[in-house]
């Protein structure tokens, strides 16, 4: 039974051995998938073995049913090329003369992933081979700057640009040049101790591409630039994929509320700005802020928003903070349409501030015409 296929082969292929001398070259693609990083260039290798001049032949690269690159009549024919690849492909004409049909694909994106067919057609032969391209998504840090008070916990957000499973990947977090977290191997004992104690990823989130690092009970030495990196197994170059976050640690107890040295004087009907800010400049974050005068509430800011319902009605619709400045600890008050009754000693108060000075007085004088 086993002999029959062999017999058939011999019959069908009776002239195979005769043409051995003039055997067509083979088209060779690497069997291993090629890896690329999003936005980088990649070379898809493909060559004739033994080498043969292919510059006058028809060379076609396809991705599924789409034409990626079509070399015909000695030049690139873009008429059938899929729009997605337009302007991004090239074959080396020098390479072609040596049977090198390798395709350079520039600024790779995730749509480029998949199986490619490299083929060559001549009058006497029709050869093809296949190659697989894997594209690694980049990593992104949604916040570039994070401020945290010593003692608090902080999450440094980092994720794959497109949701993909990151659980099998090698991740690394660096602070400056030091590796502070690595999920594969640990470095020095000191770092290891630090890692296991206070630094952690979110293991259940890795499968969704979330590489965020949590630092518990932040210390002053945690201050600095952090780099979230993914060591790709797909590409040779290490750490091509990373993004950075700058972390500022504000020491607890160091902050204070600072007012102006001089009273503020405005004319009736004008706009008064009562200066007040946190020193060192730092975000108010979740803290409540209260501006009061003579026990009346002038402006209340709580849980990241103004709270007009608690405000004395004399000040309704006349007060505002500089919202874009709040993150820098500027809690100055703007009071519109000032009247003589507005004169007084205003208090700028951050009740839960983790510092020595939580309240300052700002005197408003109102001049009369
Ligand atoms: C084909 O050309 C590319 C550069 O265009 C080169 O990197 C590659 O090594 C060449 N392949 C062969 C088999 O010569
Ligand atoms: C990652 O997961 C943590 C914990 O669930 C979450 O707080 C954080 O916002 C996530 N980050 C991103 C970038 O998705
Ligand atoms: C304050 O402004 C709101 C609309 O922004 C208005 O409906 C309300 O009547 C105003 N209140 C006063 C006291 O002017
Ligand atoms: C706070 O913001 C106001 C309005 O932009 C500005 O006039 C003032 O100088 C700022 N104060 C500080 C301390 O930056
Ligand atoms: C300012 O107050 C006066 C008197 O209370 C009022 O007539 C005027 O409309 C107010 N102007 C603004 C801009 O609120
Ligand atoms: C605060 O009280 C003082 C003294 O009673 C008074 O002169 C001033 O007008 C009051 N100011 C405000 C804004 O209520
Ligand atoms: C504001 O406080 C100062 C002393 O700090 C005092 O001399 C002044 O009378 C007060 N002004 C008002 C309107 O209460
Ligand atoms: C602010 O003013 C109040 C009364 O108006 C006074 O009791 C308090 O001592 C003042 N605070 C400062 C820091 O001057």
Per-residue pLDDT of the chain (369 residues; tens, 9 = 90+): 444 444 444 444 444 444 444 678 999 999 998 988 888 899 999 999 999 999 999 999 999 999 999 999 999 999 999 999 999 999 999 999 999 999 999 999 889 999 999 999 998 899 999 999 988 888 999 999 998 888 788 999 999 988 888 887 888 899 998 888 887 654 444 445 555 678 889 989 999 999 999 998 888 889 999 999 988 766 665 556 889 999 999 877 778 999 999 999 999 999 999 999 998 888 887 789 999 999 999 999 998 899 999 999 999 999 999 999 998 899 999 999 999 999 999 999 999 887 778 999 999 999 875
Task: Kindly state the helix (H) or strand (E) to which residue 295 belongs, with its residue range.
Answer: none
* Ligand 7 centroid distance, CA of 278 (Å): 23
What pLDDT is attached to residue 79? Answer: 92
* Ligand 2 centroid distance, CA of 210 (Å): 6
Q: What tokens does 60 get?
A: 């076609």
What is the DSSP code string of 111-143? GG-EEEEEEEE-SS-EEEEEEEEEEEPPEE-S-
Whole-angstrom distance, CA of residue 83 vs CA of residue 88: 10
* Ligand 7 centroid distance, CA of 343 (Å): 10
What is the DSSP code string of 73-86? TTEE--TTB-GGGT
Protein residue closest via CA to atom 8 of ligand 6:
344
Q: Is 345 in the pocket of ligand 7 (CB under 6 A)?
A: yes
Burial class for 22, CB neighbours closer than 10 Å (0-12, 13-18, 19+): exposed
Whole-angstrom distance, CA of residue 268 vs CA of residue 279: 31
Domain 25-136 belongs in CATH node 2.60.40.10: yes
Atom of ligand 4 nearest to the CA of 258: 13
Do residues 229 and 241 make contact, with C-beta atoms less than 8 angstroms apart? yes
Domain 253-367 belongs in CATH node 3.40.50.300: no
Whole-angstrom distance, CA of residue 293 vs CA of residue 274: 12
What pLDDT is attached to residue 54? Answer: 94
Please state the φ and ψ torsions of residue 368, each to the nearest 5 degrees: -110, 150
Atom of ligand 7 nearest to the CA of 363: 1
Question: Residue 223 has what DSSP assignment?
Answer: -
215 beta partners: 154, 199
Pocket test for ligand 6, best of 295, 343, 347 (most atoms within 8 A of CB): 343
Burial class for 171, CB neighbours closer than 10 Å (0-12, 13-18, 19+): buried
The CATH-assigned architecture of domain 139-250 is Sandwich (2.60)
In the block, which residue shows the tokens 């916040």? 143
Whole-angstrom distance, CA of residue 368 vs CA of residue 309: 31
Using CA atoms, how far residue 290 sits from 104, 261, 286, 312, 350, in Å, is 62, 20, 13, 12, 6
Whole-angstrom distance, CA of residue 183 vs CA of residue 78: 46
Do residues 212 and 230 make contact, with C-beta atoms less than 8 angstroms apart? no
Whole-angstrom distance, CA of residue 258 vs CA of residue 116: 65
* Ligand 3 centroid distance, CA of 273 (Å): 21
- The count of other CB atoms within 10 Å of the CB of residue 119 is 17
What pLDDT is attached to residue 8? Answer: 44
Atom of ligand 4 nearest to the CA of 332: 1
Burial class for 324, CB neighbours closer than 10 Å (0-12, 13-18, 19+): exposed
Alpha helix ranges (H) inside the chain = 3-12, 93-97, 189-198
Q: Is 236 in the pocket of ligand 6 (CB under 6 A)?
A: no
What pLDDT is attached to residue 40? Answer: 87
139-250 and 253-367 share one fold: yes
Atom of ligand 3 nearest to the CA of 316: 13
Protein residue closest via CA to atom 1 of ligand 8:
361
In this structure, which long-range contacts are made by residues 276-280, counting pairs with CB atoms below 8 Å and at least 24 apart in sequence?
276/331, 276/332, 276/333, 276/348, 276/360, 276/362, 277/328, 277/329, 277/330, 277/331, 277/332, 278/329, 278/330, 278/331, 278/350, 278/353, 279/255, 279/329, 280/250, 280/254, 280/255, 280/329
Q: Is 127 in the pocket of ligand 2 (CB under 6 A)?
A: no
Alpha helix ranges (H) inside 82-237 = 93-97, 189-198
What pLDDT is attached to residue 2? Answer: 45
* Ligand 4 centroid distance, CA of 289 (Å): 16
* Ligand 7 centroid distance, CA of 291 (Å): 16
Q: Is 341 in the pocket of ligand 6 (CB under 6 A)?
A: yes
What residue ranges do the domains of the chain occupy? 25-136, 139-250, 253-367
* Ligand 7 centroid distance, CA of 352 (Å): 26
* Ligand 7 centroid distance, CA of 363 (Å): 7
């Amino acid at each position: 039974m086993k002999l029959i296929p062999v017999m058939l082969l011999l019959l069908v292929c009776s002239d195979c051995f005769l043409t051995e001398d003039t055997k067509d070259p083979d088209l060779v693609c690497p069997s291993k998938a090629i890896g690329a990083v999003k936005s980088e260039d990649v070379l898809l290798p493909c060559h004739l073995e033994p080498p043969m001049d292919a510059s006058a032949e028809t060379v076609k690269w396809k991705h599924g049913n789409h034409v990626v690159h079509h070399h015909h009549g000695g030049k690139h024919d873009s008429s059938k090329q899929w729009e997605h690849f337009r302007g991004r492909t090239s074959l080396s004409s020098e390479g072609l003369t040596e049977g090198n049909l390798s395709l350079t694909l520039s600024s790779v994106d995730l749509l480029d992933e998949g199986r490619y067919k490299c083929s060559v057609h001549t009058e006497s032969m029709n050869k093809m081979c296949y190659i697989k391209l894997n594209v690694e998504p980049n990593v992104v840090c949604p916040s570039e700057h994070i401020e945290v008070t010593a003692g608090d916990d902080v999450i440094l957000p980092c994720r794959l640009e497109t949701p993909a499973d990151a659980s099998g990947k090698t991740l690394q977090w660096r602070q400056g040049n030091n590796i502070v977290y690595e999920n594969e191997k640990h470095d020095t004992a000191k770092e290891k101790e630090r890692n296991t104690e206070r630094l952690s990823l979110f293991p259940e989130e890795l499968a969704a591409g979330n590489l965020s690092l949590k630092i518990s009970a932040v210390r002053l030495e945690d201050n600095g630039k952090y780099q979230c990196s993914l060591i790709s197994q797909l590409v040779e170059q290490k750490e091509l994929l990373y993004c950075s976050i700058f972390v500022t640690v504000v020491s607890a107890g160091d902050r204070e509320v600072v007012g102006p040295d001089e009273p503020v004087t405005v004319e009736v009907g004008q706009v008064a700005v009562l200066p007040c800010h946190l020193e060192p400049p730092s975000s108010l974050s979740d803290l409540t802020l209260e501006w009061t005068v003579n026990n009346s509430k002038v402006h209340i800011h709580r849980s990241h928003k103004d709270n007009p319902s608690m405000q004395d009605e004399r000040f309704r619709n006349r007060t505002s903070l500089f919202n874009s400045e709040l993150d820098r600890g500027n809690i100055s008050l703007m009071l519109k349409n000032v009247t003589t009754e507005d004169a007084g000693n205003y208090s700028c108060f951050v009740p839960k501030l983790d510092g020595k000075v939580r309240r300052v007085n700002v005197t408003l004088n109102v001049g009369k015409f």
